[in-house]
Amino acid sequence: MRNLKFKFLLPVAAFMLAIAAAFASQTEEQAESALVQGYIYQNGVCVPHGKCDNTSSFICTDTSGRQVFGKNGPTSCSLPLFMNWQP
């Protein structure tokens, strides 16, 4: 009888341990950490200008100090982006 319990409970315990390990080892996804294309408004046109990672609370600027924006429409680039700027 004891051998029968052991033969039944050992695979069940191994399966439960595998399920627990699968959930424990799953990494959390980072929200919105991908690079976003930045634009500057130049001569009435949105010109692509570097990328921002959009994960900080600091406004994204290029190396000369100009603020870099994201597009919020086909002709409008006034969506504020955040640091870090990458050429």
- For residue 54, pLDDT beyond 60: yes
Residue 11 lies in a domain: no
The amino acid at 26? Q
Tens of pLDDT, residue by residue over 14-40, are 888 888 888 777 666 555 557 888 899
Residue 4 lies in a domain: no
Structural domain of residue 48, as residue ranges? 36-86
Task: Report percent pLDDT > 70 for the chain.
Answer: 85
Whole-structure pTM value:
0.54
Could you tell me the pLDDT band of residue 57, with boundaries at 50, 70 and 90? confident
Residue 44 lies in a domain: yes
Residue 57 lies in a domain: yes
φ, ψ of residue 66 to 5 degrees: the values are -75, 140
Q: What is the mean pLDDT of the chain?
A: 80
Residue 81 lies in a domain: yes
Residue 16 lies in a domain: no
> Based on the structure, what is the number of domains in the chain?
1
Name beta bridge partners: 82: 59
Kindly give, in sequence order, each residue whose CB lies less than 8 Å from that of residue 33, ignoring residues fewer than 6 positions away: 53, 54, 55
